[in-house]
Amino acid sequence: MQSITIELADNGVIKIVEDDNINAAGEVYSSVNVYDFDGENHIESKVKFINDIIMDSGLELGNSKDKNQIKISVGWGENYAPSKSEIEEKITALKSEIKYFEDLLK
């Protein structure tokens, strides 16, 4: 049986995965990962933690060929005030996405 334990730490979490029957061979497997949520790359660390929990627990989120695929994404907060360059970058990305969908209609 596989178990996932999450322990709180001062600056993040510690995830421990234990399996007492890896590959049905009766062998024991243990993995410990530390996720730093206060460091320079705290957003990436949080996304990695969520993705690792999903993978460790065996959740199926769909794939690129499914009509519905659950994705973990990072974006602006509801009350975030973006800079002019960030807005221009977002507009460029959205125009590119619109063009992609318009091309699919052809």
Q: 26 lies in a domain?
A: yes
Measured CA to CA, the distance from residue 52 to residue 72 in angstroms comes to 12
Q: Determine the pLDDT at residue 61.
A: 94
Q: What total number of domains does the chain contain?
A: 1
Segments forming the whole domain that contains residue 57: 2-61+80-105
Structure pTM? 0.77
Asked whether residue 97 is domain-assigned, the answer is yes
Render the burial of 41-78: b for 16+ CB within 10 Å, e for the rest.
eeeebbeebeebbeebeeeeeeeeeeeeeeeeeeeeee
Whether 32 is in a domain gets the answer yes
66 found inside a domain = no
Asked if residue 28 belongs to a domain, the reply is: yes
Which pLDDT band holds residue 2 (cuts at 50, 70, 90)?
confident
User: Is residue 68 one of the residues assigned to a domain?
Assistant: no
Identify whether 42 is part of a domain: yes
Residue 22 counted as domain residue: yes
The reported pLDDT for the residue numbered 90 is: 96
Q: How sure is the predictor about 92, in pLDDT bands with cuts at 50, 70 and 90?
A: very high
